[in-house]
Chain A
Amino acid sequence: MSEHTPPIKVVVAKPGLDGHDRGAKVVARALRDAGMEVVYTGIFQSPESILRAVIQEDAAVLGLSSLSGAHMEYAVDLCRMLRENDREDVLFLVGGTIPDEDAARLKSVGVSEVFGPGARTADIIAYIEDRVRAAAQA
């Protein structure tokens, strides 16, 4: 990207009551170090508060982290809410302990990609940069 391109805005969010945020924080830091503008919501967020953060920050990317087994509910809600608010353009990524079967279902309802345990932050960064660039050219 040229130096005049504004940084990619990312919201990293922890929905519900799950406090396991090591992964969310590591990913947030990696994206920030890669030059993106990262807002980490902190824990205990509702789908409504996450959507609000995405809209207020005019984020291009939403990264949702869940290790509590409630990923389906929260991600499906957020997909619907993004649609209802005309923000289907948001690149929606999910991370955490997600069974493969659920990952496939998440992708069928609007999640762009699922990054599970062992994912490299370099791969996450490359994925975001590719997709945001492609969207900008589209």
Chain B
Amino acid sequence: MDELETEPALDVQRWREERLARDYERVPPRREQPATLSGIPIADVYTPADVEGIDPARDIGLPGEYPYTRGPHASMYRGRPWTIRQVAGFGQAEDTNGRFKYLLAHGETGLSTDFDLPTLLGYDSDHEIYRREIGKIGVAVDTVVDMHALFDGIPLEDVSTSLTINAPAAVLLAMYRVVADERGIAGSRLTGTTQNDILKEYTAQNEFIFPPVPSVELVVDTMEYGAEVMPRFNPLNACGYHIRDAGSTAVQEVAFTIAAGLCYLEAARERGIDPDRLAPRVSFFWNVHNDFLEEVSKLRAARRLWARMMRERLRCSDPRSWLMRAHCQTSGVSLTAQQPINNVARTAIQALAAVFGGTQSLHTNSLDEAFAIPSEAAIKIAVRTQQIILHESGAADVVDPLGGSYYVESLTSRIEEEAAGLIARIDDMGGMIPAIETGYVNQLIADSAWEQQLALERDERTTVGVNAFTDDDRSTGGIELHQNDPGVAERQIARLADVKRSREERRVAQALRELEAVAGDLHHNRMPLIEEAVRARATVGEICDVLRSVWGEYRPSTVF
């Protein structure tokens, strides 16, 4: 106590030289150059000196107020908890509908849909080459008839629904609206999202069809359509998730995602659409990876950067345009096939980071996902993990509990600054589309993925069960892996044939002709015509084929 009395001011330098050095003499630092998972150097300890440039009013603020560092809402989880939203999708619509109902019965509070690869790439189930992919990693949807079956018995006016679809998002959005309409549910009552962030397909997930320029215009179409006919629905869910799982750093994840959000809104402005009309319905989707405090800081930084970009760069005046609402998913790439039960612990820590980071919605991965899409038993543990955080841990009982931490505030600012710097470099290149077409963004992600692999192989990073504490245990603890139903393809192809037999071909042909006629005019909103084609029971593949015929397909060279 003597020291405190004689030296009331914090003398960090003295502490480092005397106290810390003495400790390190006895036990040297565990890591030579401690850094976050994304490579940001970490000091021994953080003190008021590290937050000197941070103004509590200007930079941190209060929850629910600009710049939203502490959360988009004032009450956060003390009022409404985050939405427990597990993505589901396999087989035919009925199979996934059954999984939806299982999840809702176990306390899930929002739906999320994965589509199979043919649907994601705009092909029908009767496509001669791709039928082997039907219903494997998601549900097969060819026409609005499948969409009706997918949501059968689910009250669309009460449950928010996320549709994980990108290149053909316009078609699936129209299908969702038509399903509601044919069930007598007003568009104004629908809530949820289409993912619809095509730019991250070019940089990370590779499920693209058309070239970037018309694709971005199609996204603008959906945003404008959404604002008109389903004003509570978020047609765009800008995604960092896939960028991160493809190997990016946290800073790159934030920068490329926010740059994408800006790209869509700036394209809309070019078409004379006021960003304030669309921005309140832009939502976000982040990855929560292993580095707990980096992830908390990243979510806080992303909210602040988006708020500033919306207010200062796009000159949005509606506060709803400034605030970032986000869904998070724990990191799929962090799951191990070795000792897979350990994935429950990994996922729980990541989920807690999402909660401390202030997410509005959360998907927790299942322990068996290094092998296959989740089994019922494994996904229940994932749901229970969120319920334990919400009801048992106390983490949800106070808003932004890590706000004010010297380290978290300092890291929040650093991530924001570095992401802003990367966005400025993208601006210098002419924006996200040129930055993608030149391979710049993809190369940065590939380089980062490579660095992470090297770090693991040089044992600079430890993954429990993979390069440390290894054994031969690959048991999922009695949980049986999801098995693909081999009969799905045949049944789905038969259903599609039925729909084609019973629909009015003339109406379909006319709708597709009209779509073709306007597709080339990039500033003409195509959504009413796509909606008419969907109502006529045109297929995802037929509608995408029309757009392919006008816009062509994107086939970039690959960088690695």
From the candidates A19, A28, A99, A100, name the one contacting B560 in the complex (CB within 8 A). Answer: A28
Closest 4 CB pairs of A and B: A19-B206, A25-B560, A17-B117, A69-B136
Give the residues in chain A near B207, CB-CB below 8 Å.
17, 19
A29 contacts B560, C-beta separation under 8 Å: yes
Give the residues in chain A near B205, CB-CB below 8 Å.
19-20
354-385 of chain B: CB within 8 A of chain A: 369-373
Q: How far is the CB of A16 from chain B (nearest CB, A)?
A: 6
Task: Give B contacts to A, CB under 8 Å.
Answer: 117-118, 120-121, 123, 129-130, 132-133, 136-137, 201, 205-207, 245-247, 333, 335-338, 369-373, 446, 449-450, 453, 456-457, 463, 466-467, 474, 481, 484, 557-558, 560
Give the residues in chain B near A20, CB-CB below 8 Å.
205-206
Give the residues in chain A near B467, CB-CB below 8 Å.
120
Give the residues in chain B near A97, CB-CB below 8 Å.
337, 369-372
* 26 pairs, A vs B, C-beta closer than 8 Å: A16-B117, A16-B130, A17-B117, A17-B118, A17-B133, A18-B133, A19-B205, A22-B245, A24-B560, A25-B446, A26-B449, A28-B560, A40-B560, A69-B372, A70-B132, A97-B337, A97-B369, A97-B370, A99-B371, A116-B370, A117-B370, A118-B336, A118-B338, A118-B466, A120-B457, A122-B457
Give the residues in chain A near B118, CB-CB below 8 Å.
17
Of B337, B467, B484, B560, chain A has the most CB atoms within 10 Å of the CB of B560
Q: Decide if A82 is an interface residue (CB 8 Å cutoff).
A: no
B453 contacts A21, C-beta separation under 8 Å: no
Contact with B along A60-80 (1 / 0, CB 8 A): 000000001110011000000
B117: nearest chain-A partner, CB-CB: A17
Contact with B along A85-104 (1 / 0, CB 8 A): 00000000000011110000
The number of chain A residues with a CB under 8 A from chain B is 32
A33: nearest chain-B partner, CB-CB: B450
- A16 to B207, alpha carbons, bound, how many Å? 11
B137 contacts A68, C-beta separation under 8 Å: yes
A121 contacts B453, C-beta separation under 8 Å: yes
- A43 to B558, alpha carbons, bound, how many Å? 9
Interface residue SS majority, chain A: loop
Q: How far is the CB of B96 from chain A (nearest CB, A)?
A: 15
**Known A22-B245, A42-B558, A99-B481; contact A117-B337, beta-carbon cutoff 8 A:** yes
B333 contacts A22, C-beta separation under 8 Å: yes
**Known A73-B132, A97-B371, A121-B453; contact A17-B481, beta-carbon cutoff 8 A:** no
A101: nearest chain-B partner, CB-CB: B481
| Extra 8 A-B pairs, beta carbons < 8 Å, given A20-B205, A21-B206, A40-B560 | A17-B123, A21-B558, A22-B246, A25-B558, A70-B133, A73-B132, A97-B337, A117-B335
A30: nearest chain-B partner, CB-CB: B453
Give the residues in chain A near B558, CB-CB below 8 Å.
21, 25, 40, 42-43
- A19 to B65, alpha carbons, bound, how many Å? 39
A41: nearest chain-B partner, CB-CB: B558
A25 contacts B336, C-beta separation under 8 Å: no
From the candidates A18, A24, A46, A73, name the one contacting B117 in the complex (CB within 8 A). Answer: A18
Give the residues in chain A near B484, CB-CB below 8 Å.
69
A17 contacts B121, C-beta separation under 8 Å: yes
- A46 to B446, alpha carbons, bound, how many Å? 24
Q: How far is the CB of B430 from chain A (nearest CB, A)?
A: 25
Give the residues in chain B near A117, CB-CB below 8 Å.
335-337, 370
Q: How far is the CB of A38 from chain B (nearest CB, A)?
A: 9
A28: nearest chain-B partner, CB-CB: B560
Give the residues in chain B near A17, CB-CB below 8 Å.
117-118, 120-121, 123, 130, 133, 207
**Known A17-B118, A22-B245; contact A70-B333, beta-carbon cutoff 8 A:** no
Give the residues in chain B near A74, CB-CB below 8 Å.
132
From the candidates B130, B133, B372, B463, name the one contacting A99 in the complex (CB within 8 A). Answer: B372
**Known A21-B206, A40-B558, A121-B453; contact A46-B337, beta-carbon cutoff 8 A:** no
Q: How far is the CB of B325 from chain A (nearest CB, A)?
A: 27
Give the residues in chain B near A24, CB-CB below 8 Å.
560
- A116 to B453, alpha carbons, bound, how many Å? 14
B208: nearest chain-A partner, CB-CB: A19
B457 contacts A26, C-beta separation under 8 Å: no
Q: How far is the CB of B201 from chain A (nearest CB, A)?
A: 7
Give the residues in chain A near B245, CB-CB below 8 Å.
22
A46 contacts B463, C-beta separation under 8 Å: no
- A97 to B121, alpha carbons, bound, how many Å? 21
A22 contacts B247, C-beta separation under 8 Å: yes
B132: nearest chain-A partner, CB-CB: A73
Q: How far is the CB of B6 from chain A (nearest CB, A)?
A: 54
Give the residues in chain A near B136, CB-CB below 8 Å.
68-70
Q: How far is the CB of A138 from chain B (nearest CB, A)?
A: 30
B373: nearest chain-A partner, CB-CB: A69
- A20 to B449, alpha carbons, bound, how many Å? 13
- A81 to B29, alpha carbons, bound, how many Å? 55
Give the residues in chain B near A120, CB-CB below 8 Å.
456-457, 467
Give the residues in chain B near A118, CB-CB below 8 Å.
336-338, 463, 466
**Known A69-B373, A117-B336; contact A16-B133, beta-carbon cutoff 8 A:** yes
- A122 to B467, alpha carbons, bound, how many Å? 13
Give the residues in chain B near A100, CB-CB below 8 Å.
371, 474
Q: How far is the CB of B560 from chain A (nearest CB, A)?
A: 4
- A87 to B73, alpha carbons, bound, how many Å? 62
